[in-house]
Amino acid sequence: MRTAREIAEFVGGTLRGDHSVEIHEIGSLDSAGQGALAYAEGRYVANIAASNASCVLVPPGDYPSRTVIVVDAPRVAFARVAQWLYPLVHPFRGVHDTAIVSSQVTLGSDVALGAWTFVDDGARIGARTTIFPGCFVGHDCEIGEDCVVYPRVVLYPEVRLGDRVILHAGTVLGADGFGFVFDGTRHLKVPQVGRLTIGDDVEVGANACVDRGALDETVIKSGVKIDNLCQIGHNVQVGSHVVISSQTGIAGSSRVGDHAVIGGQVGIADYCRIDERATVGAQCGVPSRKRVPAGEVYWGTPARPLKNIKRQQAHLARLPRMAEELKELQREVLELKKTLADRVP
C-alpha cells in the first residue's frame, strides 16, 4: 500500500485532492475502483469524471473534486508506479532439489532454479536470476543478473543473455537456423555453429524463436521487446530498443536499426535493412535485400512508403469510375468520328 502523496513524490508529480488516499492496486480508468490508481491521457481525459479510481495520473488540466497527480506523461508515470507497486514476483528461492545442475556451472548469489531445470556444463547464471520449472540451459550459456526465465524455456548451448532479461514460457533461443544447400538430389544441412547474443533489458514473448548464427552471430541488442510467436532467423541483427510485435518473422542476415518499430505478422525476407527509427506496418512483406530508410513508414506487400500505398489504394478505389469514364469517352470519340465523316467532306 502507498498513499497518493508517496506516489506523487515517486513520480515527481503534483498531487491535488486528498493526499492521504491509500492505493492498493492499479486499474484501467473504466474498471478501477476504491483503492486503485488509474491514468488518463489524450481523449480518455474526458472519462476521468466517471471513473471510480481513487487517484488518477493526469496531464496538466482542471479536474475538479478528484484526487489526481499531474505529470507530463501519465502513461509513462503509470508504468513507473506500476513497476514499483508490482515488483517482479519471485515465487521461490534457491535451487530446487530436482534441478540438475552440472558441477561446472557458476551460479551468482540468490539464483533461484525451479524444479526439473537442467543446467549444462559451463553455464553461468548471474545474481538474483530466477529460472522457473522445466527450463533447459545448454552448455556454456551465460545468463546475466536479475533475469526472469518463465517455465519450459529452452536455451541451446552458448546463448548469452544480458541483465534483466525476461523470457516468457516456451520460448526457444539458439536453435539451428534454417541452413541447407541443395546438392542436386537432397538438401544438405549446413551446421549452424554461430552464437546468439542478447543484450540487457530484452523481453521475449511466449513460444517465440530466435535462432543462433550460421557461421557468425545472431545479435539482439539491449532494450529490444519481442512479442509472442515471433521468429528471428540466423545472423539477424536487431538494434537497441526495437519493438517487434507478435508473429513477425525476420529472415536470415537482415538488420534492424535502433528504435525501429515492427508491427505484427510482418515478414522481413533475408538480407534486408530496416534503418533506425523506421516503422514497418502490420502484415507488411519486405522483399529480400530491400532497404527501409531511417524514420520512414512502410506498409504493404511488397513494402513501400505508406503514402505511396495510400495513394495507390485511392487510385484503386477510383478504378471502377475510371473504367466507366473510359467507356463514355470511347462512345464520344466514336460519335465525333461519325459527325466528322458525315459533315466534313
Q: How many Cβ atoms from other residues are within 10 Å of residue 154's Cβ? A: 19
Q: Judged by CB, which is closer to its own copies: 45, or 73?
A: 73
Is the CB of 49 or the CB of 100 nearer to its own copies? 100
Q: Which is nearer to its own copies, 106 or 312 (CB)?
A: 312
Note if 234 is an active site residue: yes
Whether residue 214 contacts residue 231, with contact meaning beta carbons closer than 8 Å, is answered with no
Distance of closest approach, residue 21 Cβ to its own copies, in angstroms: 18
Rounded least distance, CB 78 to its own copies, Å: 7
Closest CA to 208 of 257, 150, 259, 252: 150
What is the DSSP annotation of 255-296?
Answer: EE-TT-EE-TT-EE-TT-EE-TT-EE-TT-EE-TT-EEPTT-
Identify the active-site residue in 168, 187, 234, 259: 234
- Shortest gap between Cβ of 292 and its own copies (angstroms)? 16
Q: Quick one: residue 181, left, alpha or beta (phi over 0 = left, psi -120 to 50 = alpha)?
A: beta
Comparing CA positions, the residue from 176, 177, 178, 232 lying closest to residue 204 is 232
Task: Find out whether 35 and 24 touch, Cβ atoms under 8 Å.
Answer: yes
> Between residues 156 and 298, which has the closer beta carbon with respect to its own copies?
156
Chain-centroid distance, C-alpha 92: 28
User: Residue 139 Cβ, how far from its own copies at the closest point, in Å?
Assistant: 7
Q: Which residues are catalytic?
A: 234
